[in-house]
Amino acid sequence: MRRRQRPWGERVPATTLTVTNAVLLTMARGQREPLRGWMTVGDDGRITGIGAGQPPADDAGAAAGATREGGAVGVAGGAVGVAGGAVLDVAGAFVAPGFVSAHSHLFTSASRGLGLDQSLYGWIVAMTRHTGVARPDDLYWFTLHGALDFLNNGITTAYDFTSNRLDFAAVSEGLGGFGGVLKPPEVAEVQLTAKVDAGVRFINSVSLDQAVGTPSEALDRLEAVVSFAQRYRDHPGMLGMALSGAVQWAESESTAALEVEAMRRFGLINQPHFLETPFELDHQRARFAWYRAAGALGPDLVFGHFVHATPAMIAEAAAAGCGMVWQPCSNGRLASGVADIPACRAAGMRVGVGLDDQACTDISDPWQNMRMGIYVLRAVTHDPASMAPADMLELHTLGSATVLGIDGAVGSLEVGKYADFVVVDPRRPDTGPVWDAYGTYVLACGLRNLRRVYVGGQLVSLDATIVHTDSEAVSDEVHRRMATLAGQAPGPVPGDG
C-alpha cells in the first residue's frame, strides 16, 4: 500500500470511493508494470491510497451483499453505499488516468465535417464560416458542448485555446493573420465559465489580439481577462491561464517581445501554433529567430505542432527547456505532415499530445489519436520500435501534464493527485485474451470499451452518457444556435461539402 505521509494535525480526507479488482495503469514515473489492485479516493477528490491486491479493510468498507450490474458494482447510477464510502468493483477492467489533451479548441465542437479537402487555412475559413458571426452566448454553448464531449470520451483535462476576439484571414496556404473589429471581452469570459460549468479540468489559453491597438492596450486587455479568471482561482477545475502565441502570423518581431513581456508580467506559459503547415517554410522558420532574440526560449514556451522544425531548431529548443505538443490526427486530417517525435524525445524535449480542434479530429477519440500517432511514426521511420504503446499512452497522460506544468495535479494515478480516471473493459466488447496490458489498452480498446469516466472521484460519464448534467439539453441548444448562425453566414467556401 502507498500513502502520502501527512504532517501532524493535517486533516485526513474521509474515503468516499474505493475501486477494487482493477488492472491499474497508473502511468506514475517508475511504475510501468500494471497493478492488479485497488485505489481509494478522499472527499477532497484526490487519491488517498493505491496498491496491489485487496485494499485494507478500513478502506474497502463492508462490501458484502453488494449487487453487481454488468459485472461490476457501479457508482452513481449503480452505486452501492458502504461504510467508508462506495465500492466500485471493476471486475478486472482497466483503470487508467483520464486523458490530458495538451492542445485543444473546445469552441469548435459544433463545426465538424467542414473543409473536407482543405489544408489548415482553407479549413479554418470553412470551419469558422458559422462561428465567425457567433455572439458570446453562442460561444458559451459551443464550448460547453466541446467540454462535455471531451469528458464523455475520457478526456478529463484540456489545454483550451479560446476563440480569439479577432477574425482569421488567409492570404495563401502558408500565410494568414488575425484582424478586423475587436469583439467584446465577454467572448473570452464565457469560454472560461463554460468549462467550469462542464466540470472538465483546464488551462485557459487566450490571445493578446495585438493586431488591434497599441502593445500597451493589448496588455491591458490581457490583464482584464487574467483578472476575470481570478474569481475561479480556487476552483478545482481551473489549473491555470496561458498565452496563445501568435508569432506565426505576426508582421513584426516585436510580437515575440510583447509575448515575453506578457508571460513574465502575468506568470503565463505560452503555447504558440508554430511550424504546422508545409507551406512557405522559409517564412515560417524565420520566426524561430524572433523567439530567440526576445529571450522566449525556455521551459515556459511550448511549441504547438512543431511539425516542420529543423534538426537545429529541435536541438536548440530542447537545450533551452522548451516543450512541444503533437496532434497526430489533426496533422493527418489537414495534410500538415508528421512531426519528428523520435528526434524531439531523443533531444530531451518534453512532449505532450493534443486532440486539437474537435472540428479537425472530427471524433475526439484519444485512442484513435494514440493509434494514429503510433502508425504514422512507424510508417515514416520504417521502425516498429519508434513508438511503443506504453510510451504513447504516457505522452497522452503524464507527458501532456508535464509539458504543461500541471503534473503535480493530474496525468497519473498517484496519492495526492486528483482522482481523474477512466474504467475501460476489454471484455465489453471482447477484445480477446490480454497478453500485454498496454498493447490491449492502446491498440485494441477504444471508446466502445469506455464504461465510466470520473473527475475528482465523481462519476461524469457512464456507458457513453454524461450523467452529471443534461447533455441532451446542451445538444439541442447547440443545434438551434448553429441553425440560426447558418442563416447569417456568408456564401459557400472551399471544401464546404
CB 318 within 8 A of CB 348: yes
C-alpha to C-alpha distance for 282 and 110, rounded to whole angstroms: 34
pLDDT at residue 326, rounded to an integer? 98
Tens of pLDDT, residue by residue over 205-256, are 999 999 999 999 999 999 999 999 999 999 999 999 999 999 999 989 999 9
Q: Does residue 324 have a pLDDT over 50?
A: yes
C-alpha to C-alpha distance for 113 and 451, rounded to whole angstroms: 27
CA 388 distance to own-chain centroid:
21
% of the chain beyond a pLDDT of 90: 84
Evaluate the CA torsion angle 118, 163, 406, 455 in order and state its sign: negative
∠366-324-113 over CA atoms, to 5°?
40
Q: Which three cell numbers stand for residue 197?
A: 460549468
Going from the C-alpha of 467 to that of each of 76, 242, 410, 446, 474, the distances in angstroms are 8, 30, 22, 20, 13
C-alpha to C-alpha distance for 431 and 442, rounded to whole angstroms: 12
Average pLDDT over residues 119-142: 92
pLDDT at residue 171, rounded to an integer? 86
- Strand pairing class (201-206; 238-243): parallel
Average pLDDT over residues 293-316: 98
Centre a 10 Å sphere on the Cβ of residue 66 and count the other Cβ atoms it contains: 17
Q: Which three cell numbers stand for residue 237?
A: 477545475
CB 187 within 8 A of CB 139: yes
Amino acid at 365: D
Centre a 10 Å sphere on the Cβ of residue 171 and count the other Cβ atoms it contains: 11
Tens of pLDDT, residue by residue over 283-301, are 999 999 999 999 999 999 9
Q: Does residue 176 have a pLDDT over 90?
A: no
CB 310 within 8 A of CB 347: no
Tens of pLDDT, residue by residue over 419-452, are 999 999 999 999 999 999 999 999 999 999 999 9
Q: Which is nearest to 41 in space by CA: 13, 14, 17, 69?
A: 17
Q: Please report how many Cα atoms fall inside a 13 Å half-sphere around the Cα of residue 142, on the Cβ side.
A: 31
C-alpha to C-alpha distance for 460 and 408, rounded to whole angstroms: 22
Task: Give 188: exposed, middle or buried? Use CB within 10 Å, 0-12, 13-18, 19+.
Answer: buried
CB 114 within 8 A of CB 94: no
Q: Does residue 66 have a pLDDT over 70?
A: no
